Amino acid sequence: MDFKLSEEHLMIRQAARDFANNECLSGVIERDEHQKFPHEQVSKLADLGFLGMMVSPEYGGAGLDTISYVIAMEEISKVDASTSVCMSVNNSLVCFGLEAFGSEEQKIKYLTPLAQGKKNEELYIGAFLLSEPEAGSDATSQRTTAEEKDDHYIINGVKNWITNGSSASVYLVFAQTHPEKGNRGINVFIVEKNWPGVKVGAKENKLGIRGSDTHSISFTDVKVPKENRVGGDGFGFKFAMMTLSGGRIGIASQALGLASGAMERSVAYSKERKTFGTEIKNHQIIQFKLADMATRIEAARLLCFRAAWQKDSNSDYTESAAMAKVFSSETAMWATSEAIQIFGGYGYVKEYHVERMMRDAKITQIYEGTSEMQRIVISRGILK
């Protein structure tokens, strides 16, 4: 067992840290306030190779391991969790699934520009359309239909809570083709946003990650060629579950970054702020809060690394990804709230960042599978 990061990992950490501090920090409060999509930041992520980090260079990716992805996600999330969620969805929910299960034609046509994050110099990212108004945690209850007709499918239905909803060019859409077969009747399709019958709904006005664009998307008689179905007939639900396991490592790392970013800010503040004639770092109550934060954050980081290492070693990482996500997201919620407590009244206003971080942390307990669903996955693994 070796806990040391490689030279390459250290370089990635530095590159991600520089990107976060130089490109994300200055406008992050304003983007949050006005729900402004971080277009410039995501474009620069594409230039850095961070939108297809784990994709093979043959298909336009950076060919890095999942540990590198965890490191980059943590660093960027310390500063701007709206930018990091766009990155996470493109990497884990879109590129991973297309590389693992897509046809050669799909990899050339869609995966390559998605991994590069650009097509004809324009931003080119993807979104994952599983959730529906009546199918969130209960993901098998898909109402969207994909009816097979000659050489194509006709898709009808509505998806919601879609990250990158309006900024994505390509959607991975889940739909029921054979309702009598339950989850085994679900398929997944590559659908281009500008195809006739695809309509992007209004942007959600959210508590946190307000820079990221979350929309509902409707499909009315959308004609999708058969070659855009990913995997065999009925493979869609398995595709969703396998892809989401990797996605959960991404969101766990996002939560880790929110927690460690809040802690770094708390440490800096405790060295400046004085009460009762001394810096607050000299009060044992603050020292104990920081000690607890550091311990829980390190445990979250180790869980993220372990899940990433299992994924890279081709072991089953379903449960370890769920453990990383539930623990990191709960740590993020707790640590950001503790950070506000350390900052006192200053923590409650926008200029000091930690209130935004607490709002951003909340969603990590919900999206890509709630904490409750992670506990289902973990307990099923223990009891099987």
| Chain positions contacting ligand CAA, by CB under 6 A | 89, 128, 130-131, 137, 139-140, 162-163, 183-184, 237-238, 241-242, 244-245, 318, 367-369, 373, 376-377
Provide, rounded to whole angstroms, the least separation between the CB of residue 247 and ligand CAA.
7
Provide, rounded to whole angstroms, the least separation between the CB of residue 11 and ligand CAA.
28
Going by C-beta distance under 8 Å and a sequence separation of 6 or more, which residues neighbour residue 195?
222, 223, 224
Contact between 222 and 154 (Cβ < 8 Å) = yes
With 0-12 / 13-18 / 19 or more C-beta atoms within 10 angstroms meaning exposed / middle / buried, residue 198 is middle
Number of residue whose CB is nearest ligand CAA:
369
Contact between 306 and 324 (Cβ < 8 Å) = yes
Give whichever of 116 and 243 is closer to ligand CAA, judged by the CB atom.
243
Provide, rounded to whole angstroms, the least separation between the CB of residue 228 and ligand CAA.
20
> What percent helix, strand, coil does the chain show, rounded to 5?
60, 15, 25
Provide, rounded to whole angstroms, the least separation between the CB of residue 373 and ligand CAA.
4
Is 368 tagged catalytic? Answer: yes
Long-range contact set of residues 132-140: C-beta below 8 Å, sequence gap at least 24? 132/157, 132/158, 132/159, 132/160, 133/158, 133/160, 133/216, 136/161, 137/369, 137/370, 137/372, 137/373, 139/237, 139/240, 140/182, 140/183, 140/186, 140/237
Give whichever of 137 and 315 is closer to ligand CAA, judged by the CB atom.
137
Q: Which of 272, 351, 368, 372 is catalytic?
A: 368
Q: Would you give the distance in Å from CA 132 to the centre of its chain?
A: 18
Q: How far apart are the two ends of the chain, measured CA to CA in Å?
A: 28
Provide, rounded to whole angstroms, the least separation between the CB of residue 131 and ligand CAA.
5
Contact between 189 and 228 (Cβ < 8 Å) = yes
CA dihedral 338, 247, 173, 97 (to 10 degrees): 170
Give whichever of 183 and 371 is closer to ligand CAA, judged by the CB atom.
183
Provide, rounded to whole angstroms, the least separation between the CB of residue 124 and ligand CAA.
17
Give whichever of 54 and 286 is closer to ligand CAA, judged by the CB atom.
54
**Token pair for 147:** 């009816």
Radius of gyration, alpha carbons of the chain: 21
Give whichever of 131 and 336 is closer to ligand CAA, judged by the CB atom.
131
Give whichever of 46 and 89 is closer to ligand CAA, judged by the CB atom.
89
Which of the residues are catalytic? 368
